[in-house]
Amino acid sequence: MNRLLGQDGKTVIVALDHGIAGITPLAKLERPEPLIRAVTENGADALLITPGLARSFSGLFGRVGIIVRVDCGPTALTGEWSDNKPALTVEDAVRLGADAVAAMGIVGAPGESASLQALANLASHCDRWGVVLLAEMLPGGFAASEVSVDQIAVAARVGAELGADLIKIRYSGSVESFRTVTSSCYCPVVVLGGSKQSSEQLLSSTREALTAGAKGVAVGRNVWQSADPGGITASLVEAVHG
Is 186 a domain residue? yes
Is 4 a domain residue? no
Is 6 a domain residue? no
Strands 100-107 and 132-139, bridge-based pairing: parallel
CATH of the domain at 204: 3.20.20.70
pLDDT, one tens digit for every residue, the chain (242 residues)? 999 999 999 999 999 999 999 989 999 999 999 999 999 999 999 999 999 999 999 999 999 999 999 999 888 888 887 888 899 999 999 999 999 999 999 999 999 999 999 999 999 999 999 999 999 999 999 878 889 999 999 999 999 999 999 999 999 999 999 999 999 999 999 999 988 899 999 999 999 999 999 999 999 999 999 999 999 999 999 999 99
Domain count, the chain: 1
Is 201 a domain residue? yes
In this structure, the number of other CB atoms found within 10 A of the CB of residue 144 comes to: 15
| pTM exceeding 0.85 | yes
Packing angle, helices 199-211 and 175-183, rounded to 10: 50
- Residue 16: C-alpha distances to residues 46, 78, 142, 203 (Å): 11, 21, 18, 19
**Distance of alpha carbon 98 from its chain centroid, rounded?**
14
Q: Which domain holds residue 43?
A: 11-241
Is 58 a domain residue? yes
Q: Where are the beta strands (DSSP E) in 122-236?
A: 132-139, 166-169, 189-192, 216-219
Is 110 a domain residue? yes
Is 2 a domain residue? no
Packing angle, helices 175-183 and 149-161, rounded to 10: 20
Phi and psi, residue 233, nearest 5°? -65, -45
